[in-house]
Amino acid sequence: MNNIHSPESEVTISFCAAAGLGLQTAEDLARQMLSKAGYYVFSTREYMSRVRGGNNSTQIRVSTKPVRAYVDNIDWLFALSPELRSNITEKISEKTKILGDASAMEGEISSLGRKMIDLALAKRAADLGSPKFSSMIVAGFIAGIFMLEENAADELIEKRFSDADLSEKNKMAFRTGHQLGKDNVGGKAVLTTPDKPAGNEIFLDGNSAVALGAASAGCNYITAYPMSPGTGVFSYFAKNAKLLGSVVEQVEDEISAINMVVGAAYAGARSMTTTSGGGFVLMCEGISLAGITETPVVIHLAQRPGPATGLATRTEQADLELALHAGHGEFPKALYAPVNVESAFRLAGRAFHTAHKYQVQSIILTDQYLLDSGYDIIRPDPSSIPAPLHPVKTENGYKRYAFPKKGEYVSPFGVPGYGEGFVSFDSHEHTEDAHITEDRSLRKAMVEKRLKKLEALTAEAVPPIVIGPEKYDTAVVCWGSVFEPLKEAMEIIGCKNAVLVACEQVYPLSEEFRKIISSPCRKIFVEGNATGQFSRVVRSLTGTGADETILKYNGFQFTVEELAEELDKLLSVRS
Amino acid sequence: MIKTAFDYTGEISWCPGCGDYKILESLKMALSELGLDPMEVVVASGIGQAAKMPHYLKCHCVNGLHGRSLPLAAGIKASNRSLTVIAVGGDGDMYGEGGNHFMHAIRRNPDITNIVCNNMIYGLTKGQGSPTTAIGMKTSTQPFGVTSKPLNPLLLALSCGATFVARASAADAEKTKDIIVKAIKHKGYALIDIFQPCVSFNKVNTWQWLLKSTKWLDEGRDASDKLEAMRLSMETDPYPLGIIYRSEPEKTFEENQAPYQTNDDTPLYARNPALENIRKLLA
């Protein structure tokens, strides 16, 4: 059951190395050339919270079929720095080939009871002129075991190294590795020739997908205070600010980050801020400000394990209840939880659309795993994201918080300097024209005006992804990035009577989801936290939650194998 | 009082005799003298007595959170450069709760005017020590006297790189108006710290103290010497009033941002997603 890995269809490569070794080059090249050669490639990273040293790893899963999730299996382990961590050594199996420099690693590998293949990288790289060429030898080796041509990466190398001499030397290093790889597999490729149709695909990771989805929705003002893993989206905007036409500002703290995007949105920008749990907490008062002022803003909350600093570079899904209750007082908001890369692109756009259509706050809940994982997706179309809603031209006597007409949920959105009206903004309870009031009946009416939007948000909530038989007795429920590993696990165990229900929106809940939850089936919630937060939220909103849970909270995503095993165990015991 | 296009006619909830009335008058006269259309002026504030000021002006009124008016104002200015943006608040709001934003807004240099109504006490919360309260002053929460040293906003602003730093006084509405006019005209961040009495809670820094303990600097003086400005900032009894420092304007926050680097001042609300460029990134 555990042996989900079929050698005929896929190969998993893990790279382990200290931070700062420049291994990224080998990973990027391997991924790009294998994808170009027609294989399906999934890659994910896990890393320690340090700039140099330590031991980080990247998993690249290469397959002749689409793959999109993290697995335990390792076929080829490039152990390039000493002190492999247990999350790797536990996964070394009989068939794992371990490669690296015997001079650096032999003792450690033999203490694991294993033998290693010596690539003598340090010596070979030095012979080529610099220790930096190790990475390129590894990339070449991978090309070799897949029997790609020795020039498979030439174009990519030329793109990366503009200096002709450096480019030539790197090509030589690649060829050195290529020969070693070919020899290692005796001229027989480790995987059959792929049959992936040459299609309109692009490799995208979660970070780029969130950023591009937001940009497609017209995001033109982004702020952040650097915090892993929320910074990737911000860096993407910073790097491409000119192309995207966006204000990009690294601010002094997360309080400034949220207040600045609220000010920007008041003046008509489509603004977003990105952070992780600790920074998000600092934003809560600002989110409340956006709530009472009905200012559309998007907050990207990239989850990592807490409390406090927790595990700074790891993954978890434990900020759902925080996000749901963020901000003092009562006001509606929308919470999205992208389940994979395509979903991240689409929902980032959706978050903007909802925020502006209903003048509310959208929170996009991702996590380190989702943001740092990528695979080939059908090239997303920026025009598929709803076009931005532009503000109305105000008239003399315009009231920013005018009570909506019957059947409508919002006051027309005007901005200062466009039209003949004053557009005011007040953090106090306010009158229709945005001035301080303590009038009791007005207060009540304003609270109701804001909360009424929840009706519309519910009606437009994204329905869950449901995969499985029409008739079922068990619903396996997840949200966010658990989706892909869970989907693959359920495919492997071949659930006949269970459906997978994945929520891309976790608040408010869609009618479709409520229907499934209120049906008399057995409910198993699978979540990346210790207490089953989504189950608790669902129970509080619907009266029904999980019958059983599968939870993980050690800082890593579920692997396909472990979910298959856990779920199979649960499903084999009838409730 | 002179009638201006910025006059508000509703109720004002400040205490009778409050220095804020004078500052409001100076601000309205300044806006009027500059010939600004109320439709192009945004006055943003945080929370406090002084922070109620936007409500008492006919213009776009932005009343945000305590301490947070500067990031709010920078967000507004960088979204629509045609707006004149003024951030106003008290000493607790700007230098206490918003102290971090104060320093970094100066470094960022948005083209906004920052008016701080400095009465050296918390008014709205009824008389606690503020970041500028003198050592030894007894308050409801410091019954044995304030022990922390008062913050020197002018010196701090200079050290953070402000290119326009002034101190004015609620006791001279005309001169204060002149300084506000110059501050609004100045390209980039401009600080005006305005001494004002709190008639309810500050029994030390009264109207009389204000007249006795300050002196106006010569208007014609060259204010471009930064070391001299730092020295003036540290002078006390009398405290110098006027433009302490003014240098050549520098590139503003907005000017440094990508949307405005091609001489296109279109406000962000009127812009569309860069779909073609996004397609390039997806190529």
Asked if pLDDT for residue A16 goes beyond 80, the answer is yes
Strand B41-45 versus strand B60-63 pairing type: parallel
Q: Answer yes or no: do A422 and B60 touch at CB < 8 A.
A: yes
Asked if pLDDT for residue A7 goes beyond 70, the answer is no
Q: Which two tokens stand for residue A391?
A: 């503000």
Asked if pLDDT for residue A520 goes beyond 90, the answer is yes
Q: Is residue B13 part of a domain?
A: no
Q: How many domains does chain B have?
A: 1
Name the burial class of residue B143, with classes exposed (0-12), middle (13-18) and buried (19+) by CB atoms within 10 angstroms of its CB: exposed
Confidence of residue A1 (pLDDT cuts 50, 70, 90): very low
Q: Which two tokens stand for residue B1?
A: 């009082």
Q: How many CB atoms lie within 10 A of CB B20?
A: 27
Residue of chain B whose Cα is closest to the Cα of A431: B55
Residue of chain A whose Cα is closest to the Cα of B102: A252
User: A328-386 pLDDT, tens per residue?
Assistant: 999 999 999 999 999 999 999 999 999 999 999 999 999 999 999 999 999 999 999 99
What is chain A's length? 575
Note the pLDDT of residue A193: 75
Q: Is residue B5 part of a domain?
A: no
User: B38-63 pLDDT, tens per residue?
Assistant: 999 999 999 999 999 999 999 999 99
Please report the beta strands in A179-270, taking only residues with DSSP state E, as ranges in sequence order: 201-205, 221-224, 247-250
Q: Which two tokens stand for residue B124?
A: 């709205």
**Non-local CB neighbours of A159 within 8 Å, separated by 6+ positions:** none
R_g of chain A computed on alpha carbons: 26
CA nearest to B104, candidates A266, A257, A288, A248: A257
Mean pLDDT of all residues in A200-204: 90
Tokens 């009124």 sit at which residue? Answer: B61
Note the pLDDT of residue A24: 82
User: A247-305 pLDDT, tens per residue?
Assistant: 999 999 999 999 999 999 999 999 999 999 999 999 999 999 999 999 999 999 999 99
Closest CA of chain B from A455, distance in Å? 27
Q: Which two tokens stand for residue B160?
A: 């953070």
A523-556 exposure pattern, b = at least 16 Cβ within 10 A, e = fewer:
bbbbbbbeebbbbbbbbebeebbbebbbbbbebb
> Residues A160, A164, A170, A176: is their CA dihedral positive or negative?
positive
Confidence of residue A439 (pLDDT cuts 50, 70, 90): very high
Minimal Cβ distance to B258: which of A246, A388, A390: A246
How many percent of chain A have pLDDT more than 90? 90
Sheet bearing A474-479, strands edge to edge: A465-467, A498-503, A474-479, A522-527, A548-551
Q: Which residues of B touch A212 (CB under 8 A)?
A: 278, 281-282
Closest CA of chain B from A274, distance in Å? 16
User: A485-519 pLDDT, tens per residue?
Assistant: 999 999 999 988 999 999 999 999 999 999 999 99
Q: How many CB atoms lie within 10 A of CB B257?
A: 20
Q: Is residue B263 part of a domain?
A: yes
Q: Which two tokens stand for residue B51?
A: 């922070």
Task: Compute the distance between CA of residue B92 and CA of residue A28 in angstroms, rounded to an integer.
Answer: 52
Tell me the C-alpha to C-alpha distance, in Å, between residue A391 and each of A31, A159, A268, B51: 44, 43, 7, 27
Chain B segment 38-67 residues within 8 A of A by beta carbon are 38-40, 42, 44, 47, 52, 54-55, 58-65
Mean pLDDT of all residues in B212-218: 97
Residue of chain B whose Cα is closest to the Cα of A286: B65
Task: Compute the distance between CA of residue A493 and CA of residue A487 in angstroms, rounded to an integer.
Answer: 10
CA nearest to A549, candidates A524, A574, A520, A517: A524
Task: Compute the distance between CA of residue B21 and CA of residue B17 in angstroms, rounded to an integer.
Answer: 8
User: A129-169 pLDDT, tens per residue?
Assistant: 988 899 999 999 999 999 999 999 999 999 999 999 999 99
As a whole number, the mean pLDDT across chain A is: 95
Note the pLDDT of residue A575: 53
Q: What is the CATH number of the domain that holds B199?
A: 3.40.50.970
Q: Which residues of B touch A388 (CB under 8 A)?
A: 272-273
Q: Is residue B8 part of a domain?
A: no
Residue of chain B whose Cα is closest to the Cα of A426: B63
- Does B263 contact chain A (CB < 8 Å)? no
As a whole number, the mean pLDDT across chain B is: 97
Tell me the C-alpha to C-alpha distance, in Å, between residue A407 and each of A1, A389, A404, A456, A524: 55, 19, 8, 10, 38
Mean pLDDT of all residues in B149-160: 98
Residue B190, domain extent: 19-281
CA nearest to A563, candidates A503, A499, A492: A492
User: A82-140 pLDDT, tens per residue?
Assistant: 999 999 999 999 999 999 999 999 999 999 999 999 999 999 999 999 888 999 999 99
Q: Answer yes or no: do B75 and A436 touch at CB < 8 A.
A: no
Asked if pLDDT for residue A195 goes beyond 80, the answer is no
Closest CA of chain A from B149, distance in Å? 24
Q: Which residues of B touch A420 (CB under 8 A)?
A: 39
SS3 A134: helix
Note the pLDDT of residue A134: 92
Kindly list the structural domains of chain A, giving each domain's residue range(s) and its CATH number in brackets, ordered by start: 10-184 (3.40.920.10), 203-384 (3.40.50.970), 392-458 (no CATH), 465-572 (3.40.50.920)
Minimal Cβ distance to B278: which of A212, A220, A255: A212
Give the orientation angle of helix A533-542 with respect to helix A511-518, to 10 degrees: 90
CA nearest to A97, candidates A4, A180, A153: A180
Contact B204, B132 (CB under 8 A): no
Longest dimension (CA), chain B: 71
Note the pLDDT of residue A199: 76
Q: Answer yes or no: do B64 and A262 touch at CB < 8 A.
A: yes
Task: Compute the distance between CA of residue A570 and CA of residue A498 in angstroms, rounded to an integer.
Answer: 12
SS3 A546: coil
Q: Which two tokens stand for residue B273?
A: 């997603």
Note the pLDDT of residue A9: 87
Q: How many CB atoms lie within 10 A of CB B184?
A: 24
- Does B192 contact chain A (CB < 8 Å)? no
SS3 A283: helix
Task: Compute the distance between CA of residue B119 and CA of residue B101 in angstroms, rounded to an integer.
Answer: 20
Task: Compute the distance between CA of residue B45 and CA of residue B52 in angstroms, rounded to an integer.
Answer: 7
Q: Is residue B47 part of a domain?
A: yes
**Is pTM, for the whole model, over 0.90?**
yes
Closest CA of chain A from B101, distance in Å? 7
Q: Which residues of B touch A382 (CB under 8 A)?
A: 273, 275, 278-279, 282
Dihedral (Cα; A411, A413, A416, A422), 10-degree rounding: -20
Note the pLDDT of residue A2: 44
